[in-house]
Structure 1
């Protein structure tokens, strides 16, 4: 298929299905937001909190899982994550209180870290000139799990009563994850010549080769801890109190302390090597990852946020049923099937930087227009605009991760983990902003941030020709 060997094709298909199922599990709550509100007596504010919980632990999870993948290999890590995902889904389906929902959605955020495992698996099995297309197929078809959850889970729940249907549907997604965890472990081995010599860097420190990159890495860690602090702040009375103010300040102080320790450790580990002479072939520019992380915080962060709120936005704006809103809401993520692989292919064919700039600019314009949608619009026109807008950011995801494995292949897991974590940083920030502004203002904020990312992309250094 597409010039891939049989082994490459098998690895690709087994891996994107694994990623697909983790996304079905990760977003199995979104189609049932209003159902859960009615059945468990929750408020809209509590559901907003749950949506943020769903992505907040993905931030550290992607960094840690990236390091675990470099150390132990994608086969073992992905299989274990699928098993964990299935158990959390079943626990979520049994919840009868807001506190139970909150804990399980926090744990489900860890499942979102599975993305970086497949990035490593594909990077090991595919050459540079096929990297963009292969990564695009993996991530695009896998990301479609969010859309599949939106339109399939309500259909699974339909034959059952309202109070139990959503529980059966979410538990079913967990059972599928457990089954595929066994399949993946049994039939998707790591590349035979994979090196086991990478450092086990759960502390998040990535090897760099200059003082400038060392300082930049320290700065790049700040938004990661800042987004976690933002989540704690929101739980402490914004808009209502879930934890005492004293505890929130203690947690925020703890996060600041961990950030400081991590920065110090980063300097302690890297500074001795920087002072030594290193061969040129070992060196890379960390600014490349910093800029690509900004891109992903926009393209994927906005996707996570919009997938979480779009079915409910359609339901309230156009007075649709839950099932219809879920199916139409899936339209935003639906284009992942072709747009993300298309972005990777275009990046392979026409150049990484040029394609990223084009896609971010087009996404900026279309999401600004999406911010004009209201109840006076014709529903088909609104859906068509959303489909067009989704293409550019989905393709941007593919183009972004066509470039990440080319920065430093031996550090692919860690670099993909950091870049992927920024996708969740973006989601936490966007969803937090959504709780304070109207949906129209929310989409315009995304467009404004896209302009800042465009400016950053102007400083992205060219990558080697993918045709070489």
Structure 2
């Protein structure tokens, strides 16, 4: 398969299934948004809150887990994450009060960090010339878990009473995670030379090689913590106030303190290195990860946001049943298993920057036209447009992460964590925006952001020169 040897194939299949199951658990609520309104006593505003909760903690989780993966290796981290995802799914299935739902979806956001773990595992086992294809297959099949949640969990729930069916279906996704945690622990392998090839460090900040790059890294923290601040503010929104004014102020202050501490640690770690000078082999352009983070905020962030709202959007716009809307809603993630690997493959074969530019341009155009959808549209035309848009975004995910592991291989976990976190930054901002505008404006704003990303691609450097031991 694609010239992969037996060990590479084994690692790839074990890892994409692990990622698939964490995504299945992560999005096990999306098909049941209207069900929770009708049978769990939640309001539409509360459902919007839960959508944001579902992606909020993935932001810090991807950064922290990216560092843990560099430190401890992907195998043990993935096993722990699968166990965690299974346990939270079982907890979610037992929830009865809104506060419990909030806690469950916040915790479930950590499951979204599974993506970073597999990126590191694949980066260790595959050479650069196969990186885009392998990463694309891994992430494509893994992200397919979101579509699988939409079209497999509702039929499972339909076999039971509506008030309990969603609980059975979401608990089932958790049991699958627990089973695969055991399989992954028994079967997955670390590369034998890992201890010497990838230096272990406790630092969670990314090493930079110039003062300009240091400034860029500090600036890159601001949207991350800004998204957390937006989330805290959202929890105190008048329609569903979970936090008082004092509590909101305290949490916002805490977010600010953490942001300042992260900036302090970044300066503390990097300034002495820059002062003493770094070997030329360690130099790399940090702006690569900055631009790719912006790209991923568009391609994956918009995908997360649309997946979260799409079944409900179809149900209300075209007067569909909840089950039909969930099944058709899965179309926005269904082709991940093909399109994301295709994006990585095209990036390897045709040219990484060229492919990314075309895909981002396509996303911009499609999201703009999605903003023009009305109930008068034929349903088939609306679905076809959304499928094309999703395929472009998912291929963009694959092309983006065909590049991240090539920037500097010993920092792959941290860089994947940073770019991956920006995917959730995009989702938080987009879903928060959805609370204030209708779906048409929501899609147009995503299109406007795509234009910004298109301009930022002008600053993405070629990857052809990445040839030294840190980048191979």
TM range (shorter): over 0.9
On the 8 A contact 2:40/2:163 being kept in 1, the answer is no
| 2:425 is the counterpart of 1:425 | yes
Q: Distance in 1 between matches of 2:280 and 2:239?
A: 52
Other-structure match for 1:375: 375
Deviations for 1:225-252, whole angstroms, at most 9, x for unmatched residues?
Answer: 0000000111112543210011111111
Contact 1:349 1:466 in 2 (8 A): no
Q: Secondary structure at the match of 2:193?
A: coil
Corresponding position of 1:355: 355
Q: Which residue of 2 aligns with 1:197?
A: 199
Q: Indicate how the Cα distance of structure 1 residues 466 and 129 shifts in structure 2: closer, same or farther if over 3 A, else same.
A: farther
1:99 to 2:132 alignment? no
Alpha-carbon spacing, 1:37–1:165, altered in 2? closer, same or farther (3 Å) = same
Q: Alpha-carbon deviations, 1:2-43, whole Å to 9, x = none?
A: 110010001001100000000000000000111111111111
Aligned length: 466
Secondary structure class of the residue paired with 2:403: helix
Q: Would you say the 8 A contact 1:129–1:466 is kept in 2?
A: no
**Structure 2 counterpart of 1:447:** 447
Q: Deviations over 1:231-277 (max 9, x none)?
A: 01111125432100111111111111111121122111111110123
Task: Decide which moves more: 401-410 or 273-282.
Answer: 273-282
- C-alpha contact (below 8 Å) 1:314/1:325 kept by paired residues: yes
Shift of 1:465: 7.0
Q: Note if contact 1:75-1:185 (Cα within 8 Å) is conserved in structure 2.
A: yes
Inter-partner Cα distance in structure 2 for 1:157 and 1:190: 38
Distance 2:407 2:224 in 1: 21
Please give the secondary structure, in 2, of the residue aligned with 1:192.
coil
Q: TM-score, normalised by structure 1?
A: 0.98
- Is structure 2 residue 287 aligned with structure 1 residue 287? yes
TM-score (norm 2): 0.97
2:327 aligned counterpart, secondary structure? helix
The residue aligned with 2:39 is 39
Shift of 1:283: 0.9
Q: Which runs of 5+ in 1 are unaligned?
A: none
Aligned to 2:8: 8
Question: Which residue number corresponds to residue 233 of structure 1?
Answer: 233
Indicate the RMSD between aligned Cα atoms, in angstroms: 1.2
| Alpha-carbon distance, 1:197 to partner | 2.8
Q: Output the CA distance in 2 between the equivalents of 1:285 and 1:219.
A: 15
Shift of the alpha carbon at 1:391?
A: 1.0
* Partner secondary structure for residue 194 of structure 2: coil
Q: List per-residue Cα deviations over 1:109-150 (Å, max 9, x = no partner).
A: 001011000000000000000000000000011000000000
Does the residue aligned with 1:354 lie in a helix, a strand or coil? Answer: helix
Q: 1-side partners of 2:61 and 2:246: how far apart? A: 26
What is the distance in 2 between the residues matched to 1:169 and 1:458? 46
1:64 — aligned with what?
64
